[in-house]
Chains A and B, each alone.
Chain A
Amino acid sequence: MSRINLSRSLPPLAAALFSMTLLVGCGWWGAPSDSKGSTDPMLQTQQKQPMLVIAEHRTARLQALYQLQPQLEQRLGIRLKIVEYPAPPQDYFTKLVTELRAGNAPDVFTVPRDLQVDDLAAAGYLANLTEDVRQWPGYAQLPELVKTLTRASFDEQVYVVPSIVAVEQLYYRHDLLTAAGISTAQPHSWTELLERSREIKQKMQQTPLLIPAGLTWGMGSYTEGFRYLLASFRQYQLLNHQQQYVLDDAAVLQSFAFYQTLVQQQLMPIKPLLNPEPWVIPKYEMFPKGQLLITTCGSWCKVFDWGPGSRNPIANIGEAVQTWKFPSADGGEPFALTSVVYAWAVNAKSRQQQLARKLVLALGETDVALAYAAKLGNVPARLDAKDHPDFIALGSLMQDHALLTQSRAVRTTVGSNAMMAGVAQATEALLTGRVDAAGAQQMLRDYVENVLGEAMVQPLASGHIHQPEQEAP
């Protein structure tokens, strides 16, 4: 039997491996044929163009970007490498933030919600775009509210270029309420909304209203729920002049009391909100089936959640589902809420700063915004979008675009993530009946103070949280 002599055969083997590594490393062996100096002049030109890495996620957004890629590359003379990120917003944001911290994030990416701009900018992850947008004609076309939401609250510098915005309201089943003989008139106050909800429960034996809450809904408990309630107080500002969170205000307590009423009177789907994916049952099952009649949502809902292409389409959705503005809590006019969603940002550590800045401005143009808006069910951020020939393709979203100049927003500052996590915890405690409204307010205050430090929360004027004289709704 022959034996292999290791001491003799190892050196030649190692030498061969080393040579192969060198050959592969130098590109002499195994490299694709097109990289060996192509004679195609077009390919050569393309290869000389600088490449920018751009992060994108979710099928609809990716489709829009792939569709726009050739024209963006041609317009800017660049190559775009699109990196697909996880679809769920929280997973996307976590991956993005960890990469930004590690210093290996893409050149250009989106910030899912305007209230995350402060935290990202304060961490030093975002390039300051103030000078760039000043020279950009598109900036003058943004509504003032949207402009405010592109700036960080701590230095008033612009860090993102908005492309699309979400216009959020209450969506209700017009067809079913009409059939049940329940008024579909716009409710003007919280009390009116609660009375309407009680009537729905009594006459239809169904769950009337969904306002997202709880831990598993994550940041949505704030952005798609609690924020609407806070915005309905015209006099209330979440931040004081020192950029501290104002959490001992009666507006905060009354907002929690509204949840408490919904929970105690079982006007809200409580059990589904405690599920791992709490939006699935109420939004995708109960609302289409008519087991839930009113829900908070944005313009995207008519496209994604219940539109003809969704998994649970509602027949004749244009007629069946209609909107109410959010009722006011203090006698003011009902209002729609605007959020800047998926605004474009430049990585502060990008090696191609100038090109990346050009790219985000190009992504803020109307044609790009319209391509995204049509696919996502959002509306373009720019007011001049209505003059674009493709604007008509938005259909019913055109009405939402018209609300841009009249809508409200709630501005946050650094630490919004703690604020959102605090709201998720406090509303979860309300859902499970562990605390009442005052307890939830205390919980939120304690959490935000614990995480951000005492300096970020407005000190209590009287040493204890403000108790309103009037009863909760």
Chain B
Amino acid sequence: MFKMTFEARRQLGYRLMMTPALLLMAAFIVFPAFYAFSLSLTDDALLGFAAQESSFVGLRNFERLFGDPLFWNSLKVTLIFVIGSAVLGQFVLGFASALMLQRPVKYKSIFNAIICLPNAVPEMVVGFLWISMFASGEYGTLNRMVAWFGVDPQQWLYTFPLLSIIIVNTWRGIAFAMILLTSGLASIPKDIYEAARVDGATDNQIFWRITVPMMMPTIFLYMFISTVTTFAIFGLVYTLSRGGPANSTEILGIYIYNQSFTAFQLGYGAAVAVVSLVVSMVLGMIYVKALKVEV
């Protein structure tokens, strides 16, 4: 009779426990990705004759895509949005908050709650909330605030569209950055700091030569997660600007939606989604490689 060793049983147990997660990933991530790729090779549409019977068009959608200036604009806008909000905005402010809250601060829990609140609000609600903030005319919240300093009412989402959505996404994402980076800071052994102080290191030296290098794995992990999730943002920007004015905030998510559900070209929309997936995967691989950083 076949008898399993303890190690084999343990490995089987692990695999069985992973099965539900793997099945879900296969059903909701892997299969849709392959389906999107197969769709991108057709002229499938939600309207017209192609909706009844789509035909294989080979790489025509990709050919059209790479010749479409609106796609390149969308990719550029997405990269600026990701770098501006996730890499710079959320990281810098999140790291600063994490460092600040490491020190003994009065009412620390209140500050924590204030920073974490935006993350608890659903994406669409954040969009509507900031529409009210950015509203043009004298009744917009931000316009009322700048009026105290004698500034005329502005059309914020028209004049500074990309900056506006970067600010909103930064505001929303600080909490996640702070939580993750706080856990990273907590994992640095205290005796290293004490030894550095005994050796006469300044605060500046401690920060750049101990904190930052020791935090590198956490920083890269954060960068990886936030880059990939920001790349996939849709609802927030759709609510705020719908990609306008003049495509200035048309990130890839909006572009895919517009092609698939406003122009109703599923094949072309799927082609954009496939390219977007490839870009995300490339960025992900770069981060994964960087995560193996040695300290």
Most buried by B among A98, A215, A271: A215
**Does A94 lie within 8 Å of B47, measured CB to CB?**
no
Q: Which residues of A contact B64 (CB under 8 A)?
A: 450
Question: Which B residues from 231 to 247 make CB contacts under 8 A with A?
Answer: 240-247
**Residues in B whose Cβ lies below 8 Å from that of A240:** none
- Any chain B CB within 8 A of the CB of A404? no
Q: Report the bound CA distance from A101 to B46 in whole Å.
A: 7
Contact of B48 with A by CB under 8 A: yes
Q: Mark A206-240, 1 if CB is under 8 A from B, else 0.
A: 00000000111010000000000000000000000
Q: Does B282 contact A (CB under 8 A)?
A: no
Closest Cβ of chain B to A122, distance in Å, is 5
Contact partner of B47 among A90, A120, A216, A275, CB < 8 A? A120
Nearest Cβ on chain B to A429's Cβ, whole angstroms:
9
Say how far B290's CB is from chain A's closest CB, in angstroms. 37
Contacts of A308 in B (CB 8 A): none
Residues of B within 8 A of A431 (CB): 246
Of the residues B45, B245, B261, B268, contact of A274 by C-beta under 8 Å: B245
* Contact for B157 among A101, A276, A425, CB less than 8 A: A276
The interface size of chain B toward A, counting residues with CB under 8 Å, comes to 29
Q: Given that A123-B47, A275-B157, A275-B158 are contacting pairs, would A417 and B247 also be in contact in the complex, using a CB cutoff of 8 Å?
A: no
Q: Tell whether A327 is near chain B: CB-to-CB under 8 Å.
A: no
Which residues on the A side are within 8 Å of B243 (C-beta)? 215
Q: Are A274 and B158 in contact (CB under 8 A)?
A: yes
Q: Closest residue of chain A to B266, judged by CB?
A: A101
Distance in Å: Cβ of B59 to nearest Cβ of chain A: 14
User: Does more than half of chain A's interface fall in helix, strand or loop, or is it mixed?
Assistant: helix
- Chain B: which residue is nearest A116 at the CB level? B47
Q: Decide: B261 and A94 in contact? CB cutoff 8 A.
A: yes
**Contact indicator B242/A216 (Cβ below 8 Å):** yes
Which residues of A are found within 8 Å of B48, using beta-carbon distances? Answer: 119, 122-123, 414-415, 417, 452
B158 lies within 8 A of A271 (CB)? yes
Closest chain A residue to B57 by CB distance? A453
Determine if A432 and B246 form an interchain contact, defined as CB atoms under 8 angstroms apart: yes
On whether A216 and B262 interact (CB within 8 A), knowing A271-B158, A275-B158, the answer reads: no
B72 to chain A, nearest CB (A): 14
Cα distance A96–B246 in the bound complex, in angstroms: 27
Interface residues of B (CB under 8 A from A): 43, 45-49, 51-52, 64, 70, 136-137, 155, 157-158, 240-247, 261-265, 268
Not counting A125-B51, A271-B158, a sample of 4 additional A-B residue pairs whose C-beta atoms are within 8 angstroms of each other reads A124-B51, A216-B244, A451-B265, A452-B48
